[in-house]
Amino acid sequence: MAFPLSVKNLTVAYQKKPVLEDISFRVPEGKLIGIIGPNGAGKSTLIKAILELVPSITGEVAIFGDSYKKTRKRVGYVPQRESVDWDFPTDALDVVMMGRYGHLGWFKRPDKKDKAVALECLDQVGMGQFVHRQISQLSGGQQQRVFLARALAQDAELYFMDEPFVGVDAATEKAIIALLMKLKSQGKTVLVVHHDLNTVKEYFDWIMLLNVKLVGIGPTEELFTKDYLQKTYGGSLTMLDSNTSPIIVSPR
Ligand SMILES: Nc1ncnc2c1ncn2[C@@H]1O[C@H](COP(=O)(O)OP(=O)(O)O)[C@@H](O)[C@H]1O
Ligand SMILES: [Mg+2]
């Protein structure tokens, strides 16, 4: 069986400055994976390069053994919140309905079933009462929930989420991580850019440590160590020594 995601020798540069260098890895099915690294490490760029939203200089990406063009219906993406135009005049239901478009054939309009799925997904993320609210008039946490509902409505098998917990309250964070764990239990593969090192052990089976180069990828218990974190964050990481988990003073 093909891996959900396989990346080989990926290099990406903006204006000739390399921001990802020779990245190679494979991701097995059914894992919830945290992408960890300092600001500017190339975490968002990695996802964008995989989804062909930015060009790469070299590299091969295979999704379920095939090109993204052929597999895009099986892939869900929740972008970083600040990269979305929240003034765009559309309501919560419309945003979630967009997640259904991959299921529609040529010339088919979304039907009752698509709408029912969209409404159910909004319900699942606790947004059932805001379906006709303009997205510009939702709080940060509510906007994030709507985007999560869109990803759920898409019913993908491989998900990329870029910092889904930024700007959300504790209750929303709990709701989101519960949903991600549910997706995992359904055999889906979920990659999540995450910056709060204090919750890494609790949330993720696997982590990818990234800082322009790939520092490591694998089970959290093997990679979430002082040595690996130091290699990833370098001087910007201050740790108070302890026998248990490292305490992060200034990861960003
Ligand atoms: N559109 C862009 N044009 C030029 N440089 C960019 C662009 N997007 C990101 N960068 C730069 O690429 C590097 C990686 O950015 P990014 O992938 O957003 O990092 P992260 O998500 O890990 O914080 C940073 O140095 C950033 O300034
Ligand atoms: Mg980013």
User: Domain residue spans in the chain?
Assistant: 5-248
- Per-residue model confidence (pLDDT) at position 240: 44
Ligand 1 centre distance from Cα of residue 39 (Å) = 9
Q: Give the Å distances, CA to CA, from 42 to 68, 113, 163.
A: 20, 39, 13
Element (H, E) at 152: helix 140-154
Q: Are strands 206-211 and 239-240 parallel, antiparallel or unpaired?
A: unpaired
- Per-residue model confidence (pLDDT) at position 79: 86
Distance, in Å, from the CA atom of 232 to the CA atom of 33, rounded to the nearest integer, reads 16
Q: Which CATH class is domain 5-248?
A: alpha beta
Ligand 2 centre distance from Cα of residue 10 (Å) = 18
Strand order in the sheet with 5-14: 17-27, 5-14, 58-63
Number of C-alpha atoms within 13 angstroms, CB side, residue 187?
A: 2
Instruction: Tell me the torsion sign for CA atoms 169, 139, 146, 88.
Output: negative
φ, ψ (nearest 5 deg) of residue 246: -65, 145
User: Which residue is closest in CA terms to ligand 1's atom 5?
Assistant: 14
Q: Which atom of ligand 1 is nearest to the CA of 37?
A: 22
User: Which residue is closest in CA terms to ligand 1's atom 25?
Assistant: 40
Question: Is the CB of 40 within 6 Å of ligand 1?
Answer: yes
- Per-residue model confidence (pLDDT) at position 88: 81
The ranges of the chain with pLDDT < 70 are 102-108, 235-252
Question: Is the CB of 17 within 6 Å of ligand 1?
Answer: no
Q: Which atom of ligand 1 is nearest to the CA of 163?
A: 21
Q: Are strands 206-211 and 58-63 parallel, antiparallel or unpaired?
A: unpaired
- Per-residue model confidence (pLDDT) at position 251: 47
The predicted-structure confidence for 205-229, as pLDDT tens digits, reads as follows 999 999 999 999 999 999 999 999 9
Cα Rg of the chain, angstroms:
18
Question: Is the CB of 42 within 6 Å of ligand 1?
Answer: yes
Residues 204, 173 contacting (CB under 8 angstroms): no
Residues 236, 250 contacting (CB under 8 angstroms): yes
User: Which residue is closest in CA terms to ligand 1's atom 18?
Assistant: 44
What b/e string do you get for 136-154 counting C-beta neighbours within 10 Å, with b at 16 or more? eebeebbbbbbbbbbbbbb
Ligand 1 probe mutation, 11, 21, 45, 162, most atoms within 8 A of CB: 45
Question: Is the CB of 251 within 6 Å of ligand 1?
Answer: no
